[in-house]
Amino acid sequence: MEKSFQKSALLVTLTLFFFIPVSISVPFILFHGIRDQCSNGGVSSFVQLLSNLSSSHGSCLEIGNGEQDSVTMPLTQQASVACEKVKQMKDLSQGYNIVAQSQGNLVARGLIEFCDNAPPVFNYISLGGPHAGISDIPKCNSTLCELLKTAVYTDFVQDHIAPSGYIKIPTDIKDYLEHSKYLPKINNERPNERNTTFKDRFTSLHNLVLVMFEGDAVVIPKESSWFGYYPDGASTPLLSPQQTKLYTEDWIGLKTLDAARKVKFVSVPGEHLRIAQDDVVKHVVPYLKNQPASMSEDLEILHL
Give the pLDDT confidence score for residue 11 in this predicted structure: 46
96, 122 Cβ separation under 8 angstroms: yes
On average, the pLDDT of the chain sits at: 90
Mean pLDDT comparison of 3-7, 8-12, 76-80, highest-scoring range:
76-80
What is the per-residue pLDDT across 43-53, written as a single tens digit (0 to 9) for each? 999 999 999 99
Give the pLDDT confidence score for residue 23 in this predicted structure: 57
Task: Tell me the C-alpha distance between 62 and 288, whole Å.
Answer: 20
Higher pLDDT, 4 or 139: 139
CB count in 10 Å sphere of residue 292: 9
Give the pLDDT confidence score for residue 171 in this predicted structure: 96
What is the per-residue pLDDT across 178-203, written as a single tens digit (0 to 9) for each? 999 999 999 999 999 999 999 999 99
What single string gives the DSSP state of each residue in the chain?
-HHHHHHHHHHHHHHHHHTSEEEE---EEEE--TT--TTSHHHHHHHHHHHHHHT--EEEPP-TTTHHHHHHS-HHHHHHHHHHHHHH-GGGTT-EEEEEETTHHHHHHHHHHH-TTPPPEEEEEEES--TT-BSSPPS--SHHHHHHHHSTTSHHHHHH-GGGGGB--TT-HHHHHHH-SSHHHHTT-SGGG--HHHHHHHHT-SEEEEEEETT-SSSSSGGGGGT-BPPTT-S-SPBPGGGSHHHHTTSSSHHHHHHTT-EEEEEESSSTT---HHHHHHHTGGGTSPEEEEGGGGPPPP--
| pLDDT over threshold 90, residue 86 | yes
Higher pLDDT, 100 or 14: 100
Give the pLDDT confidence score for residue 143 in this predicted structure: 87
What is the per-residue pLDDT across 99-120, written as a single tens digit (0 to 9) for each? 999 999 999 999 999 999 999 9
Percentage above 90 pLDDT, the chain: 83
Task: Tell me the C-alpha distance between 269 and 29, whole Å.
Answer: 25
Percentage above 70 pLDDT, the chain: 87
Please, which pLDDT band fits residue 142 given cuts at 50, 70 and 90? confident
Give the pLDDT confidence score for residue 12 in this predicted structure: 45
Higher pLDDT, 114 or 294: 114
Task: Tell me the C-alpha distance between 187 and 94, whole Å.
Answer: 27
Give me the domains of the chain, ranges plus CATH numbers: 26-132+182-229+238-285 (3.40.50.1820)
Task: Tell me the C-alpha distance between 81 and 29, whole Å.
Answer: 14
Burial class (CB in 10 A: 0-12, 13-18, 19+), 112: buried
What is the per-residue pLDDT across 283-292, written as a single tens digit (0 to 9) for each? 999 999 966 5
What is the per-residue pLDDT across 123-140, written as a single tens digit (0 to 9) for each? 999 999 999 999 998 777
Give the pLDDT confidence score for residue 18 in this predicted structure: 46
